[in-house]
């Protein structure tokens, strides 16, 4: 039996047989967003007639080539990067579908990482789709004119492709789960509330991101003006489009560095809170309002939801800070001010933890990940919540249950080289089996195997106690009332 050929609405594609089915890589869902299409909504793919070889990784969205042992990255040049990878157990079947949206602070990442291999999902009876979308300025620059949130509209175009084409790959378009991590999870929160995405999916998984990450038009304008200044052009999309890819990436890095050095509201407005200059914009059309507010008002109520966080998310970002001392306390002071916290709030976190560093980690983990996840679950009404607490031995144990640590467990591929830096060893296969199974069960049935959060504030823990936890840390949760 040879490698399979699938006939899509735009043309035939050649996949590759594997141990658990077949994989098709770099299948386009939209035209290359370059030239006249650079700052336009995703355009239809030009059909083809010859069989397209879909057995190799495709181009990635323009981004810096920076990579680290903890967060590896791969950049593959090319214009035709609005594509997706499909792992399927059987092209003749009708299996539930999971569509994965990668993270990377809306400026890095792709579906080319081997760590995002969907073979374990195909092994367990799920069609797994991993997508690319426009990043940085190409995806989220907005000056108040034209169409905003092109990166989110790319994701909608990919979901539309899934609706129209996934049956040919053995997937059920009537059972689609969208799943994202970090910026990908924040994208999922936005998609739950976007008019253009309605009806394209039925379940949602959000790992370390929820419904709080979008900025105002005024904030987007501040970012756009600084980007234009860095490029030495007028503050318009047309002027920015004259820059080369290398120039645009360098200018984006310069703006991000400026924000990191002076994350003050008087300078950046609401952009300062999220510390990401390029992210979804509340334009009133593509994204009508901040997703968490829309969910509080009933948006996405018919969608099954699984949302959660890692218990020490912020350790990833503060590995170099000392356990105690002036530098750590100043960082805590600056970070707390972004979220409207005062001296008593900082003192409370110091009292709940063992040192200054852990107080900072707990505060930022709550502000950016835990509290948004719990607030979304509370607003949704029937969401399931998880907490991931397996602690990595990396950096002499300082990394712990950090941001991104759950990924090798969800994908059940602990041995992949992409995760070597995070895991610093073999990891825990029993935890991976439990977590991956819960994700597969949710994609198939809408429940991961434990009660919704609103039933006694239930959270399933993976990696520590490995049991249901109820009403965890109410003091810190109450501290954030009306603040997130």
Residue 57 to residue 443: CA distance in whole angstroms: 25
Q: How far apart are CA 376 and CA 306, in angstroms?
A: 10
Output the pLDDT for position 227: 98
C-beta separation of 136 from 256 below 8 A:
no
Domains by residue range for the chain, with CATH: 1-130+150-208+304-484 (3.40.50.1820), 217-274 (no CATH)
List 181, 279, 313, 358, catalytic entry: 313
- Higher pLDDT pick, 265 / 107: 107
- The helix, strand and coil proportions of the chain, stated in percent and rounded to the nearest 5, come to 40, 15, 45
- Model confidence pLDDT, tens digit, residues 123-136: 999 999 999 999 99
**Given the DSSP bridges, would you call strands 171-181 and 83-88 parallel, antiparallel or unpaired?**
unpaired
Q: What is the pLDDT, as a whole number, of residue 405?
A: 98
Q: Can you give the pLDDT at residue 101?
A: 98
341-353: string of b/e by CB count within 10 Å (b at 16+)? Answer: beeebbebbbeee
Please state, in angstroms and as integers, the Cα–Cα distance from residue 248 to each residue in 37, 116, 143, 439, following that order.
Answer: 16, 27, 16, 38
Calculate the average pLDDT of the chain. Answer: 97
d(CA 154, CA 157): 5
Q: Edge-to-edge, what's the strand order for the sheet holding 5-8?
A: 5-8, 11-14, 52-53
The single residue of 403, 459, 461, 476 carrying the catalytic annotation is: 403
Residue-wise over 41-76: b if at least 16 C-beta within 10 A, else e? bbeebeeeeeebebbebbbbbbbbeeeeebbbbbbe
The reply to whether the predicted model has a pTM over 0.85 is: yes
Answer yes or no: 182 catalytic: yes
Q: Indicate if the pLDDT at residue 287 is higher than 70.
A: yes
Cα–Cα distance for residue pair 157/196, rounded to 1 Å: 9
Whether 20 is a known active-site residue: answer: no
Catalytic site residue from 110, 182, 336, 392: 182
Distance CA 450, CA 462 (A): 12
Mean pLDDT of 150-167: 98
For residue 23, what are the β-bridge partners? 16, 87
Q: Can you give the pLDDT at residue 264?
A: 83
Q: 370 pLDDT exceeds 70?
A: yes
H or E element, residue 27: strand 21-28
Nearest to 259 by CA among 271, 242, 247: 271
Report pLDDT digits (tens) over 69-93.
999 999 999 999 999 999 999 999 9
> What is the number of alpha carbons within 13 Å of residue 441 lying toward its C-beta?
11
Structure tokens at 403: 């941001």
**What confidence score (pLDDT) does residue 65 get?**
83
Distance, CA of 190 to CA of 412 (rounded, Å): 27
Reply yes or no on whether the pLDDT at 1 is more than 80. Answer: no
- Respond yes or no: is residue 181 known to be catalytic: no
| CB contact set of 44 (below 8 Å; sequence gap of 6+) | 30, 31
- Give yes or no for residue 150 having a pLDDT over 90: yes
DSSP state of 210: -
What is the pLDDT at residue 95? 98
User: For residue 176, what are the CA distances in angstroms to 140, 166, 197, 388?
Assistant: 25, 10, 12, 24
């Amino acid at each position: 039996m040879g490698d399979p050929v699938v006939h899509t609405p735009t043309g035939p594609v050649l996949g590759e047989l594997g141990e658990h089915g077949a994989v098709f890589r770099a299948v386009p869902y939209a035209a290359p967003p370059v030239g006249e299409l650079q700052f336009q909504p995703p355009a239809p793919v030009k059909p083809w007639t010859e069989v397209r070889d879909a057995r190799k990784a495709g181009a990635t969205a323009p981004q810096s080539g920076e990579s680290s042992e903890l967060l590896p990255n791969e950049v593959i040049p090319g214009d035709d990067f609005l594509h997706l990878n499909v792992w399927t157990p059987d092209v003749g079947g009708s299996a539930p579908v999971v569509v994965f949206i990668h993270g990377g602070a809306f400026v890095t990442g792709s579906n080319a990482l081997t760590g995002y291999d969907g073979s374990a999902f195909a092994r367990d009876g799920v069609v797994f789709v991993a997508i690319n979308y426009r990043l940085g300025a190409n995806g989220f620059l907005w000056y108040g004119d034209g169409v905003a949130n092109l990166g989110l509209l790319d994701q909608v175009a990919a979901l539309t492709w899934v609706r129209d084409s996934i049956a040919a790959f053995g997937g059920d378009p009537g059972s689609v789960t969208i799943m994202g991590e970090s910026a990908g999870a924040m994208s999922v929160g936005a998609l739950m509330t976007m008019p253009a995405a309605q009806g394209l999916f039925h379940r949602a998984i959000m790992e370390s991101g929820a419904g709080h990450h979008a900025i105002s038009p005024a904030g987007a304008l501040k970012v756009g003006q600084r980007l234009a200044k860095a490029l030495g052009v007028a503050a318009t999309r047309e002027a920015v489009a004259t820059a080369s890819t290398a120039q645009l990436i360098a200018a984006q890095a310069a703006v991000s560095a400026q924000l990191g050095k002076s994350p003050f509201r008087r300078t950046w407005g609401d952009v300062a809170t999220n510390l990401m200059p390029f992210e979804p914009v509340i334009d009133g059309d593509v994204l009508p309002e901040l997703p968490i507010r829309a969910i509080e008002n009933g948006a996405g109520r018919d969608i099954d939801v699984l949302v959660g966080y890692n218990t020490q998310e912020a350790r990833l970002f503060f590995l170099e800070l000392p356990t105690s001392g002036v530098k750590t306390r100043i960082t805590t002071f600056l970070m707390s001010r972004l979220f409207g916290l005062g001296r008593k709030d900082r003192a409370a976190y110091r009292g709940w933890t063992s040192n200054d560093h852990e107080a900072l980690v707990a505060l930022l983990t709550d502000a950016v990940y835990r509290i948004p996840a719990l607030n979304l679950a509370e607003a949704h009404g029937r969401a399931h919540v998880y907490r991931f607490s397996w602690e990595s031995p990396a950096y002499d144990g300082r990394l712990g249950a950090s941001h991104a640590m759950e990924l090798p467990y969800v994908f059940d591929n602990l041995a992949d080289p992409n995760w070597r830096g995070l895991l610093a060893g073999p990891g825990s296969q029993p935890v991976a089996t439990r977590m991956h199974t819960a994700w597969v069960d949710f994609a198939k049935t809408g429940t991961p195997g434990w009660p919704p959060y609103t039933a006694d504030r239930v959270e399933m823990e993976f990696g520590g106690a490995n049991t249901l936890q109820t009403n965890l840390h109410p003091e810190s949760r109450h501290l954030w009332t009306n603040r997130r």
